[in-house]
Each structure stands twice: as C-alpha cells, then as structure tokens.
C-alpha cells in the first residue's frame, strides 16, 4: 500500500477492459472505438467489486481518456469511489493511428504498409497519425499537468496499454523505445508513488487478482477467407 504521508502523490493507472475493436482485430482509435466487449464489462465489474470490498484505493480524482472503452471502464468502477465524478482528458488517449488507419483491420494494415517497426520513435508508423515520440510527448504533458494539479492526491486514470508503457518511460526515466517490453493486461492496476524531488517508485504493475476464473480473452474474429 501507499505511504500515508499527505504530501505523497499516487498515480493509479488502470487499463480499460477488453474492447470490441480488440476482439474484431481492428486498429481502434478514438474515432472508431466502440467500447467494451461483454468480457470487458465483466472484467470492469470484477475490478469495481474488488475495490469496493477492499477499500484499497481512496481516490481523490478519477480521470478517463476520451476513448469510449476507457470512459466505460471508468464509469463501471466509479461506484467504488463513492460515485466520484469522472474527468475526461484526451491527453491520456491511446496512440492515435490517424484518420486513414483508424478503424482499419490489422490484416489490411499489414497488407498495405507491412508490419510496424517500433524501434525508431520518430518514424510515422501510422501514416497521418502520431509518431511514438509525439505520443510520448502528449502523455508526458498530460502526466505533468495532472501531477501539478493534484499534489498529494490519489489519482486514478482509466487509460490504455500504450499510455501505461509511456508512463513507465516518463516517470522512471527509461528510454522511449527498447530496453524492456510491457504486456499490460485489461483492467490491471499499475501504481506509482512520488518519493520526492520529482522521482517516482513503481508500487505495483499488472495487478489482476480480481480476474481469477475469467477467460483470458474473447476469441478474436478471424480474417474473412479470400
């Protein structure tokens, strides 16, 4: 659990529940995101039940990205925080694939552009979309603004796997790409705690104790036969 010092800031990053776009193997940006799958809602319900039962998070602020899957997840877990009002911050949105790629199937993307190479943060992997460098700069700005506005508070953020990866690299001063790879699970809890002088400690990562007994994923749609 976190330090009891009132000056300690806690950032709790929760990845949204399983999304419909993931099940359908679609690159779902904010334009085409269609919310949670049935399993995704069950995952979020489980997390809400856990948080209500344990009172392990006394949240002061509840933020969601502007993606329906993140908003829906935050809406499901909000009752565990005594109905805390949700704030939507598009700065915590997932890597934007741009209008041409948003909604495209992964197979169609690979057929047209080849498999993505994430090694260079300045390469436009999604034509017309964000580079990794631009994405990380956006997430970093959102983090710094949130930290400055909520010193000493516990901030819960319903966001995305890419945002959690970017937050690791920003808060722990790790390289933008490479060195490690994260596989952040749906509705997992990741927590950072401030330790002074702008430094942060990773308190927990990928905590999904509430998902015991649930399927790991919904069977994904297969590409249509040619």
Backbone angles phi, psi at 71, to 5 degrees: -65, -45
Inform me whether the pLDDT recorded for 3 exceeds 50: no
Q: Tell me, what's the pLDDT at 178?
A: 85
Helix axes of 132-149 and 161-171: crossing angle, nearest 10 degrees: 70
Report the alpha-carbon distance of residue 60 to residue 9 in Å, rounded.
10
Report the alpha-carbon distance of residue 153 to residue 210 in Å, rounded.
24
Per-domain residue ranges for the chain?
10-209
pLDDT per position as a tens digit, 47-69: 999 999 999 999 999 999 999 99
> Class of 10-209 per CATH?
alpha beta
CA-CA-CA-CA torsion for 132, 41, 10, 61, nearest 10 degrees? 100
pLDDT tier for residue 1 given thresholds of 50, 70 and 90: very low
Q: Which residues pair with 200 in a beta bridge?
A: 194
Neighbours of 115 (CB within 10 A): 9
- Among residues 53, 16, 19, the alpha carbon closest in space to that of 36 is found at 19
Q: Tell me, what's the pLDDT at 172?
A: 96
pLDDT per position as a tens digit, 135-180: 999 999 999 999 999 999 999 999 999 999 999 999 999 999 888 9
The pTM for the full model equals: 0.94
Q: Report the percent of the chain where pLDDT is more than 90.
A: 88
């Amino acid at each position: 659990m976190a330090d009891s010092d009132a000056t300690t800031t806690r950032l709790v990053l929760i990845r949204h529940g399983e999304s419909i776009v993931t099940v359908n193997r679609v690159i779902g940006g904010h334009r085409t995101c269609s919310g949670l799958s049935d399993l995704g809602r069950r995952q979020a319900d489980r997390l809400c039940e856990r948080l209500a039962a344990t009172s392990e998070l006394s949240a002061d602020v509840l933020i969601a990205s502007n993606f329906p899957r993140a908003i829906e997840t935050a809406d499901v877990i909000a009752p565990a925080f005594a109905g805390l009002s949700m704030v939507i911050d598009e700065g915590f949105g997932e890597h934007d694939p741009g209008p041409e790629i948003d909604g495209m199937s992964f197979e169609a993307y690979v057929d047209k552009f080849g498999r993505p190479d994430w090694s260079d943060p300045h390469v436009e992997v999604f034509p017309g979309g964000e580079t990794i460098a631009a994405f990380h700069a956006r997430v970093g700005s959102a983090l710094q603004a949130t930290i400055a506005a909520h010193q000493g508070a516990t901030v819960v953020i319903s966001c995305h796997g890419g945002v959690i990866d970017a937050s690791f690299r920003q808060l722990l001063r790790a390289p933008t790409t490479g060195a490690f790879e994260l596989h952040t699970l749906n509705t997992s809890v990741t927590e950072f705690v401030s330790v002074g002088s702008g430094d942060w400690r990773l308190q927990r990562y990928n905590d999904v104790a509430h998902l015991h007994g649930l399927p790991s994923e919904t069977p994904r749609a297969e590409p249509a036969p040619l």
